[in-house]
């Protein structure tokens, strides 16, 4: 075990790294962050911020030399960086898992090869592949870039072959997947942690709502049957085991009208839909990330209160600094800001966790509070 007092490293300096670093400090660890951004949210709270590109040899050597173990806070870390670090350091999650989740074609192919259901899809490397795909995948469909797409970026709903061609050209003809757009009852996610010894623990299933491809709210407990929630947790456990995963894994699921569970995507890290755990669970996803990284026994988290998480996007700043007093005066509302210096439309700047006696009241409180933050011009 790597015990408190040791230093742990993080590749990536965004809000997930920031929340990990804060939790690591709470548990007595020092944190070193490697990120090229001088205004990195994680770097601002770390003990050391190595400001360098992810493939900088000297920075990687220093990170390895100064840390007992190293993790990632986003999946698009260059593989060469992970391989370099793994030669001399404990690196979790495993490189093969990160590589699989970096690429939608690899990810969906892997899922189907292991027997996990997904939406129907076709991989596209060329215009010829696209012509074949549109003859096999019914419209409407979704064209997604195979790499680097997130929060609605690199995605386009297409209703005919002409739409698909235009979108493929707009994406620069990079490798893509064309996915069937299925009728959904709802979207869920499960956060699962797995230790190097195979120990596994899951968090309660969350019900998610997206707007413009960006997660808007996560509601816990999810408004589904106990049987379906159990199936979702069992699927997550099976998937983490099949991948020989070590760390925290976020798994997004579709629920079809017939209550079939389909795996949409995986994230080899804590997940936006797991932020509710910070205030509503006995242990949060960042503590689990640290425990798995350091070889500690996993926590056994349970839900303390129904909760709704709602993202705070840069759009809220359009009329000036949001009215934080509206969040701070409401019982049950917990404000989390990420320390980002520039608010842009669609950029995740923070979130609210809203606790209430039941999930419906929590969701209503979250939406009401988020909307009350907007600073509107007053007429004289």
Domain membership flag for residue 87: yes
Q: Are residues 168 and 188 in the same domain?
A: no
Its domain, for residue 61, covers 7-91
- Give the pLDDT confidence score for residue 375 in this predicted structure: 82
Q: Model pTM?
A: 0.94
Spatial strand order of the sheet with 141-145 comes to: 121-124, 176-180, 141-145, 155-158
Contacts for 230 with CB less than 8 Å, ≥ 6 apart: none
Same domain, 141 and 198: no
Residue 108 is assigned to a structural domain of this protein: no
Same domain, 77 and 155: no
Among 143, 159, 180, identify where a domain stops: 180
Examine the domain organization and report whether 28 and 163 are in the same domain.
Answer: no
Q: Are residues 287 and 215 in the same domain?
A: yes
pLDDT value at position 151?
57
**CATH number of the domain bearing residue 53:** 3.40.50.20
Digitized pLDDT (tens) for each residue of the chain, 380 residues in all: 999 999 999 999 999 999 999 999 999 999 999 999 999 999 999 999 999 999 999 999 999 999 999 999 988 888 889 989 999 899 999 999 999 998 999 999 999 999 999 999 999 999 999 999 988 999 899 999 988 766 557 888 999 999 899 999 999 999 999 999 988 999 999 999 999 999 999 999 999 999 988 999 999 999 999 999 999 999 999 999 999 999 999 999 999 988 899 999 999 999 999 999 999 999 999 999 999 999 999 999 999 999 999 999 999 999 899 999 999 999 999 999 999 989 999 999 999 999 999 999 999 999 999 999 998 765 44
Closest CA to 179 of 144, 148, 215: 144
Instruction: Report strand pairing: 7-11 vs 30-34.
Output: parallel
In a domain? residue 2: no
- The CA-atom distances, in angstroms, between 126 and each of 105, 149, 198 are 14, 18, 41
Q: Is residue 296 in a domain?
A: yes
What are the φ and ψ backbone dihedral angles of 62, each rounded to 5 degrees? -70, -40
In-domain check, residue 221? yes
Answer whether residue 115 is part of any domain.
Answer: no
The CATH number of the domain holding residue 320 is 3.30.470.20
| pLDDT value for 187 | 97
Asked if residue 188 and residue 172 are part of one domain, the reply reads: no
Asked if residue 135 and residue 62 are part of one domain, the reply reads no
Residue 156 lies in a domain: yes
Residue 194 included in any domain: yes
My answer on whether 155 and 26 are in the same domain is: no
CATH classification of the domain holding 126: 3.30.1490.20
Q: Which of 288, 291, 265, 139 is nearest to 213 (CA)?
A: 265
Q: Which of 147, 180, 213 is the last residue of a domain?
A: 180
262 and 142 fall within a common domain: no
Total domains, the chain: 3
Contact 188, 206 (CB under 8 A): yes
């Amino acid at each position: 075990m790597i015990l408190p007092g040791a230093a742990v490293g993080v590749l990536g300096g965004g809000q997930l790294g920031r929340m990990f670093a804060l939790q690591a400090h709470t548990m007595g660890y020092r944190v070193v962050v490697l990120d090229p951004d001088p205004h990195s949210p994680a770097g601002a709270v770390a003990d050391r911020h190595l400001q360098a590109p992810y493939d900088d040899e000297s920075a990687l050597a220093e990170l390895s030399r100064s840390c007992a173990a190293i993790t990632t806070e986003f999946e698009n870390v260059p593989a060469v960086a992970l391989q370099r670090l793994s030669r001399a350091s404990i690196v979790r999650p495993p490189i093969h898992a990160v590589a699989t989740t970096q690429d939608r074609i690899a990810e969906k192919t892997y899922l189907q090869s292991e027997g996990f259901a997904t939406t129907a899809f076709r991989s596209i490397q060329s215009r010829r592949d696209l012509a074949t795909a549109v003859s096999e995948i019914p419209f409407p469909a979704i064209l997604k870039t195979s790499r680097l797409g997130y929060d609605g970026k690199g995605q386009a709903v297409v209703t005919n072959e002409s739409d698909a061609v235009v979108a493929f050209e707009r994406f620069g003809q990079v490798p893509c997947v064309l996915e069937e757009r299925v009728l959904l009852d709802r979207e869920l996610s499960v956060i699962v942690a797995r230790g190097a010894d195979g120990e596994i623990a899951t968090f309660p299933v969350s019900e998610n709502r997206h707007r413009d491809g960006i997660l808007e709210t996560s509601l816990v407990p999810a408004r589904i049957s106990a049987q379906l929630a159990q199936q979702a947790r069992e699927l997550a456990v099976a998937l983490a085991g099949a991948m020989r995963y070590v760390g925290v894994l976020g798994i997004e699921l579709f629920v079809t009208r017939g209550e079939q569970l389909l795996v949409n995507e995986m994230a080899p890290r804590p997940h936006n839909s797991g932020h509710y755990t910070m205030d509503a669970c006995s242990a949060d996803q960042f503590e689990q990330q640290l425990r798995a990284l350091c070889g500690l026994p996993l926590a056994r988290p349970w839900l303390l209160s129904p909760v709704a998480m709602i993202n705070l996007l840069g759009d809220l700043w359009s009329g000036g600094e949001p009215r934080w007093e509206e969040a701070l005066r409401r019982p049950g509302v917990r404000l989390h800001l990420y320390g980002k210096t520039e608010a842009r439309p669609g950029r995740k700047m923070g979130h609210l966790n809203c606790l209430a006696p039941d999930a419906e009241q929590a969701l209503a409180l979250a939406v009401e509070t988020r909307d009350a933050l907007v600073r509107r011009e007053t007429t004289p």
